[in-house]
Amino acid sequence: MDSQNIFILGIESSCDDTAASVIHNGNILSNVIANQKIHEAYGGVVPELASRAHQQNIVPVVHQALEKAGITKEQLHAVAFTRGPGLMGSLLVGTSFAKSLAYGLNIPLIDVNHMQAHILAHYINEEGFEKPPFPFLAMTISGGHTQIVKVNHYFDMEVIGETIDDAVGEAFDKSGKILGLGYPAGPEIDKRAKLGNPKAFRFTKPKVAGLNFSFSGLKTGILYFVQRETKANPNFVEENINDICASIQYTIIGILVDKLKQASKETGIKHIAIGGGVSANSGIRQALKDGEQKFGWTTYIPKFEYTTDNAAMIAIVGYLKYLEGDFTEQHVMASARLKI
Ligand code: KG4
Ligand code: ZN
């Protein structure tokens, strides 16, 4: 097999982003994303609307990805798609599209686990970004996920910790909602946190056994705190918004870093990678840098466009599986709860 000249199309549609990307031997040629603005008005993703928007977006997004890559669909060697986990209605759109395209072109179809893809995004060739050596620990943090994964090899991964309720991005977004910030609130909280005092207010960290996480108690704690304080001073949130954001962010980062420290200690692994939308957070980035000094970690943060939901990460997994001849059949089904 000529492994030196392989073009693969990656398709991602697990949540509210319709994305397509073309990879050529591990180098990304195009990475197109259609965000669905429609959910902002609802303060969260509405599955039925997401599915409909995917149907509208998928053809133009794939078309654009091929055009930007400067290739025709006939030059593709395989089509890779997100099989799960995610919203079933959303996954079905990408899955059906990928199946038909691969069938029509008579090329292999490759199914990709979205969570593995967030981690393997680190293996995209990108100047200035190191690839983590095996084994390493990967923490995936986004609006849909919070996991710590021990990565022994590309497709040999073990989830050693995960959230038992909300994802960390939800903790940011739901806290922001309580404070009257727009959706998603993570970036806004991050921005305001830089202007505030992280120790102005104290929020209780959850006590969860092992390497698992919990964020729903924190959200309730913040809600009660805001209700109590606004009763005494109706302008409390307005007057203290930066300090509140800084304190919330400080608490959340503390929860994440505590578990990472524990995971590193238990496994003896000091190579630490992160992925997912929350890895854009300035607090977590700083905490990882500090970990290099304090705990001798080597840390890996992918390029931002490969860290939020995207199809480049699906395409790199497609490429890695293509090299192994790991293809799937036309009767493959989308799987909302697919595990690593
Ligand atoms: O990976 P992503 O784009 O989509 C999925 O949820 O899979 O992640 C989106 C999440 C949202 O919850 C958003 O608030 C959060 O990432 N986020 C941030 C920041 N940027 C995005 N959270 C904290 N600080 C940020 N700078
Ligand atoms: Zn994701």
Taking the CA of 119 as reference, the closest ligand is 2
Length of the chain: 340
- Mark whether 281 and 315 lie in a shared domain: no
Number of structural domains the chain divides into: 2
Q: For residue 179, is it within any domain?
A: yes
Residue 273 CA to residue 264 CA, distance in Å, equals 12
- Mark whether 111 and 150 lie in a shared domain: no
- Mark whether 107 and 210 lie in a shared domain: no
Alpha carbon nearest to ligand 1 atom 22, residue: 186
> What's this model's pTM, rounded to 2 decimal places?
0.94
Q: What CATH number does residue 89 fall under? A: 3.30.420.40
- Mark whether 17 and 117 lie in a shared domain: yes
Tens digit of pLDDT at every position of the chain (340 positions): 455 799 999 999 998 889 999 999 999 999 999 987 777 777 778 888 888 888 999 999 999 999 999 999 999 999 999 999 999 999 999 999 999 999 999 999 999 999 999 999 999 999 999 999 999 999 999 998 999 999 999 999 999 999 999 999 999 999 999 999 998 999 999 999 999 999 999 999 999 999 999 999 999 999 999 999 999 999 999 999 999 999 999 999 999 999 999 999 999 999 999 999 999 999 999 999 999 999 999 999 999 999 999 999 999 999 999 999 999 999 999 999 999 9
DSSP code of 336?
T
Q: For residue 319, is it within any domain?
A: yes
Alpha carbon nearest to ligand 1 atom 23, residue: 186
Q: Cα of 307 to ligand 1 centre, how many Å?
A: 9
Alpha carbon nearest to ligand 1 atom 8, residue: 277
Q: Cα of 170 to ligand 1 centre, how many Å?
A: 8
Q: Among candidates 172, 150, 152, which has minimal Cα distance to 260?
A: 150
Structure-block tokens of residue 72 = 């025709």
- Mark whether 19 and 159 lie in a shared domain: no
- Mark whether 113 and 187 lie in a shared domain: no
pLDDT computed for residue 53 by the predictor: 86
* Amino acid symbol at 262: Q
Q: Which domain holds residue 260?
A: 136-301
- Mark whether 105 and 166 lie in a shared domain: no
Candidate from 14, 33, 36, 142 with most ligand 1 atoms within 8 A of CB, to mutate: 142
- Mark whether 294 and 165 lie in a shared domain: yes
Q: For residue 80, is it within any domain?
A: yes
The three-state DSSP-derived secondary structure of 3-38 is CCCCEEEEEECCCCEEEEEEEECCEEEEEEEEECHH
The binding-site residues of ligand 1, defined as CB within 6 angstroms of any ligand atom, are 15, 142-144, 169, 172-173, 184-187, 190, 276-278, 280-281, 308-309
- Mark whether 190 and 258 lie in a shared domain: yes
pLDDT computed for residue 66 by the predictor: 98
Candidate from 253, 282, 308 with most ligand 1 atoms within 8 A of CB, to mutate: 308
State yes or no: cis peptide before 85, omega within 30 of 0: yes
pLDDT computed for residue 190 by the predictor: 98
Q: Cα of 177 to ligand 1 centre, how many Å?
A: 14
Q: For residue 258, is it within any domain?
A: yes
pLDDT computed for residue 333 by the predictor: 95
Ramachandran assignment for 148, one of left (phi > 0), alpha (psi -120 to 50 degrees), beta (any other): beta
Q: Cα of 172 to ligand 1 centre, how many Å?
A: 8
Q: For residue 79, is it within any domain?
A: yes
- Mark whether 188 and 242 lie in a shared domain: yes
Q: Among candidates 256, 257, 336, 261, which has minimal Cα distance to 295?
A: 261
Q: Cα of 169 to ligand 2 centre, how many Å?
A: 11
Atom of ligand 1 nearest to the CA of 169: 12
Atom of ligand 1 nearest to the CA of 307: 1
- Mark whether 141 and 115 lie in a shared domain: no
